[in-house]
């Protein structure tokens, strides 16, 4: 049974940094691309970042490129999202997800088979 558990969210001020973690189990981690999505109240779910199966190729939305970094540790079945220079518009529930793909990850949430419960990020002064 697949499980994805996010952690690391919290309340921070603009300009601060957070590092989110997503610990996974119950599926063959290296067969899956991993992605991060976010959703704020009243907004649609938004693609944030994705990384291919071995960690060498990363993809970002324009809104976070240059500030966020996605990475994965295949020895620990864990994916990370380092978030720097946070802005109030980054406030959202952040979800990690797994896609059964060996190649370029999808930016579409419906292509991802497994999802975590989310971790809240709030950026406010």
**pLDDT per residue over 85-110, tens digit each?**
999 999 999 999 999 988 899 999 99
**What's the rounded Cα separation, in Å, for the pair 99 and 36?**
11
pLDDT given at position 102: 82
- Report yes or no: 61 and 50 within 8 Å, Cβ to Cβ: no
Give the separation between CA 64 and CA 49, rounded to whole angstroms.
8
What's the CA gap between 45 and 57, in Å, rounded? Answer: 23
For the cut 90, the answer to whether the pLDDT of residue 13 exceeds it is yes
Return the pLDDT at 101.
85
Give the count of beta carbons closer than 10 Å to the beta carbon of residue 40.
14
Q: What is the pLDDT of residues 18-48, one digit of tens each?
A: 999 999 999 999 999 999 999 999 999 999 9
- Which single residue is written with the structure tokens 């190729």? 57
* Percent over 70 (pLDDT), the chain: 100
3-state secondary structure of 95: strand
């Amino acid at each position: 049974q697949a499980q994805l558990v996010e952690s690391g969210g919290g309340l921070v001020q603009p300009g601060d940094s957070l590092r989110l973690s997503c610990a996974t189990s119950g599926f063959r981690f290296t067969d899956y691309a991993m992605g991060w999505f976010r959703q704020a109240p009243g907004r649609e779910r938004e693609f944030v970042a994705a990384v291919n199966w071995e960690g060498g190729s990363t993809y970002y939305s324009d809104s976070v490129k240059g500030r966020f970094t996605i990475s994965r540790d295949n020895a620990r079945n864990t994916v990370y999202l380092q978030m720097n220079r946070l802005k109030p518009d980054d406030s959202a529930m952040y979800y990690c997800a797994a896609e059964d793909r060996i190649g370029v990850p999808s930016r579409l949430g419906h292509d991802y088979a497994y999802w975590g419960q989310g971790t809240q990020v709030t950026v406010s002064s």
